A = this chain, B = another copy of it.
Amino acid sequence: MRSLEPKNRTSVVDIKSLRLITAIKTPYLPNGRFDLEAYDSLMHLQIVNGAEGVIVGGTTGEGHLMSWDEHIMLIGHTVNCFGTSIKVIGNTGSNSTREAKHATEQGFAVGMHAALHINPYYGKTSLKGLVSHFQSVLSMGPTIIYNVPSRTGQDIPPSVIDAISENSNMAGVKECVGNERIQEYTNKGIVIWSGNDDECHDSRWMYGATGVVSVTSNLVPGLMCELMFQGMNPLLNSKLMPLFKWLFQEPNPIGLNTALAQLGVIRPVFRLPYQPLPFAKRVEFVKIVESIGREYFVGEKDVQVLHDEEFLLVDG
């Protein structure tokens, strides 16, 4: 189903150099459908504040709560509106090889610049199965492999990455296992993005990572750029640490969703099984914002402690 249109061709080299990739939030309307106006506004904030790429429909963007047609549509929409200003990386991974292939074909057809691929979570498979799974999709275009055993229940070991690294479409790895693993890869010249905001400063400046796929940059894109672009900065890293900790006290994107709603840049609508952080934590967030400085956060409204009844949970 491949297209040879120049507009659909992207270079792996362009992907390999990205330093700040934001795992962009997907905002919802009260009826549970996408709020594209809010989404476009979040995308603008990323672009003007320096992010170089976005992951569309990642775990942060709740791709696992989308139907595939919603998911591909959102990739196509992002490419169409913002594809000349920022690299669009579609999370077209799946624990089903068939689904991953189909979604990746479609994602590249609508113009995404790269694919993010997870190993088969939940179902899992053998190492041989992992390699086959990734090889089934690598031919289609630039690809980032995503390793997050705390979600998938299965580590992608270096042997698997080595086996697929010969492929010219292999851009690198979004790695969540830690800096020791990152060092092992960067020693071999494999491009790495940290998948943990609280480690990314060290990953980048001490362990050879190229950058980060960040959740926090949804909130403070400018500061995350500073952290990734302008050299070692332990002071800034320390200043952001309470925000990192706050964001990940419950499974992501619970913290992020709560925070963006408090900042007034999205409607306070959650797709179940996600629910907002409790009131006390929302009070804490206001303090964190004040401590870092409201001006560094996206949006222009005052940060608010929303009440329980202001949140809408949708499940249908």
Provided the pairs A35-B1, A36-B1, A123-B59 are in contact, do residues A76 and B80 lie with their beta carbons within 8 angstroms? yes
Query: How many copies of this kind of chain does the complex include?
Result: 4
**What are the residues of chain B within 8 A of A162 when measuring CB–CB?**
none
Contact at B65–A98, with CB atoms within 8 Å?
Answer: yes
Given A5-B40, A81-B3, A124:B151 Cβ within 8 A: yes
In this assembly, does A205 line the interface, its C-beta being within 8 Å of a C-beta of chain B? no
Are A69 and B132 closer than 8 Å at their CB atoms? no
Q: A19 interface residue, CB < 8 Å from B?
A: no
Are B83 and A80 in contact (CB-based, < 8 A)?
Answer: yes
Q: A110-B73, A110-B76, A132-B272 are in contact. Are A123 and B65 (CB under 8 A)?
A: yes
Roughly how many angstroms separate A121 CA and B126 CA in the complex, as a whole number? 19
Q: Mark A1-43, 1 if CB is under 8 A from B, else 0.
A: 1111101100000000000000000000101111111011000
Determine whether the beta carbon of A272 is less than 8 Å from that of B3.
no
A128 on interface, CB distance cutoff 8 Å: yes
Q: Are A273 and B65 in contact (CB under 8 A)?
A: no
Residues of B within 8 A of A122 (CB): 59, 64, 95, 121-122, 151-152
**Contacts A36-B1, A80-B76 known; A126 to B315 CB distance under 8 Å?**
no
Complex Cα–Cα for A315 and B152 (A):
20
Query: Quick check: B98 and A3 within 8 Å, CB to CB?
Result: no
Q: How many angstroms from the CA of A192 to the CA of B251 in the assembled complex?
A: 27
By the criterion CB–CB under 8 Å, are A128 and B275 in contact? Answer: yes
Quick check: B80 and A7 within 8 Å, CB to CB?
Answer: yes
Q: Considering residues A77, A151, A271, which has the most beta carbons from chain B within 10 angstroms of its beta carbon?
A: A77
Contact at A275–B98, with CB atoms within 8 Å?
A: no
For A32, the chain B residues whose CB sits under 8 A away are 98
In contact, A151 and B151 (Cβ under 8 angstroms): no
Which residues in chain A, 198-231, are within 8 Å of chain B measured between CB atoms? none
Q: How far is the CB of A84 from chain B (nearest CB, A)?
A: 9
A244 within 8 A of B: no
B120 near A273 with CB under 8 A, answer yes
Indicate if the CB atoms of B126 and A77 lie closer than 8 Å: no
CB <8 Å contact, A8 and B81: yes
A sample of 7 more A-B contacts (CB under 8 A), given A34-B109, A76-B110, A80-B83, is A2-B37, A4-B37, A97-B271, A97-B272, A123-B251, A123-B273, A124-B151
Closest 4 CB pairs of A and B: A76-B76, A97-B272, A76-B110, A80-B111
